[in-house]
Structure 1
Amino acid sequence: MDKSKKLLEAFKLFDAANAQDPNKEVVEGKEYAKELLYAQRMTDILNQFEPKASEALQLTARCQHICRWEIPRESYEMNRVGYLKWRQDLKKFHAEKASALLAQVGYDQETIDRVSFLLLKKQLKKDEETQTLEDVICLVFLKYYYEPFLVKHDDDKMISILQKTWKKMSAKGHDAALKLSFSKKGLALVSKALSDH
């Protein structure tokens, strides 16, 4: 895939911003800034899932969680309303942050607006690229974050999370998800979530 110079420059700026994340994750003995690792995983999964992704979609995948730690979940009420408000505010925050960096690189307004549109998850199920982004987000969750989640939550909660995740995905996303490898328990819960669906 031929990456434009602007795209690589934007990736550099996104990654530099995400490298500031004070939250760390250790993978195979190496420490990473949490959101930097997440951004790189988003790019990897997008490249596998949709190798012909447009430049706007590639940009969006890389900055999906940009500087997320700046708006901590704990700064909102710890209930469903607080959670939804936090998610909405985050989307706007990511769109503003990404737009400023894209402008710095010299992207035109049309591309900047399209990345914002995708970050705000507009027209899910209707807009093909918004759907592809959602599929990639769900696949990244299932591949990298689902198993560690299992340890923290009871089975019923995990089944509910899996069902909500499945609902957001397309048929192509479902096919890709079923090709992922899970632990014995992880697979059992996926099977149960889908059979109860």
Structure 2
Amino acid sequence: MSNNPADDYPSTAAFTPTSRFLVALSSFRAMHLRDPSSPTTAADEPAPAPAPGASTPSLRYHSTLELYARKLSALSTVDALRRGPGEALLLAAASQHVRRWERPRKDYAEGLSGYKMWRTALNKFHADIAHDVMRQAGYVEDDEGDAELFGRVRDLLLKKTLQRAPLPEREDELKDPEAHLFEDAVCCTFLHLEFTQFASSFAGDRDKLVRLVAKTWAKMGPLGRGVAVQELVGKLGDEERQVVLDAVKGAGAAAA
């Protein structure tokens, strides 16, 4: 077996990995391995060579995000999505939050307006990196098919086609089911990897935490909510689980 997981990358019914896709995936992996929050990686050090079992918080995030993208696709009621994530969705998943440490939240103003500016800047930053990685891997901007792929990856990362809450109860009633599947995968990854630590930062303001979780829940479609309830919420600690349940109850009341 190869030392580079990209060489053993699993196909889906919708997409068989190409050599240029695997080159792009390897480039993203090298970036994820440079996550300075890892105790074995410093930001000013050369990127380490990919090795079996090598991991960083960034790499774990993206592995988990792709896992949920594949899981949600398998559960989808939309035929095109049930065949598995396509090339654009897989590339977007690989570049979501890539090199996020280069755009820290502290560089933006406190409060909601500063947060929104930071998120908008991050989305563009990730989309620009994805574009450059794809181009360097052999995707051609002037090719009609590739140009469409460039645009789709960018749209997914910029979240251009997401509908505002309340969302329809049926997945096939969404205007862009793939974009919402991607958002659901992002939200599930947050619950899986980050929520417990996130919740601990609101120890003195439970009501605010409940409101924030309710906003996350409102962004999720039926697929993501189903996976969250069946596989994630029950694994949280008692306090965190009750926060989510209270948020879900509040989100339901607001939508009624």
- TM, length-normalised to structure 2: 0.71
Q: 1:13-32, CA deviations, whole angstroms, 9 ceiling, x for partnerless residues?
A: 11111222212289xxx984
More divergent stretch after superposition (79-88 vs 1-10): 1-10
Q: 1:124-161, CA deviations, whole angstroms, 9 ceiling, x for partnerless residues?
A: 03322111111001000111111222222132122112
The total of aligned residue pairs comes to 194
Provide the residue aligned with 1:33 in structure 2: 56
Q: Which has the higher strand share?
A: 1
Misfit runs of 4+, over 6 Å: none
The alpha-carbon deviation at position 33 of structure 1 amounts to 2.8
Q: Which one of 85, 89, 95 corresponds to residue 57 of structure 1? A: 89
Please tell me whether residue 97 in structure 1 is matched to residue 129 in structure 2: yes
Counterpart CA distance in 1 for 2:198 and 2:106 is: 19
Q: Which runs of 5+ in 1 are unaligned?
A: none
Counterpart CA distance in 2 for 1:188 and 1:4 is: 42
Counterpart CA distance in 2 for 1:68 and 1:19 is: 12
Provide the residue aligned with 1:148 in structure 2: 197
CA-based RMSD of the aligned residues comes to 1.9
Counterpart CA distance in 1 for 2:198 and 2:54 is: 19
Percent identical among aligned pairs is: 34
Q: Which one of 91, 116, 133 corresponds to residue 84 of structure 1? A: 116
The alpha-carbon deviation at position 82 of structure 1 amounts to 1.4
Counterpart CA distance in 2 for 1:81 and 1:185 is: 29
Q: Which has the higher helix share?
A: 1
Provide the residue aligned with 1:186 in structure 2: 240
Greater gyration radius: 2
Q: Which runs of 5+ in 2 are unaligned?
A: 1-9, 41-52, 75-83, 140-145, 164-174, 252-256
Provide the residue aligned with 2:167 in structure 1: none
Q: 1:145-192, CA deviations, whole angstroms, 9 ceiling, x for partnerless residues?
A: 112222221321221121011100001111111012222222211111
Counterpart CA distance in 2 for 1:61 and 1:45 is: 10
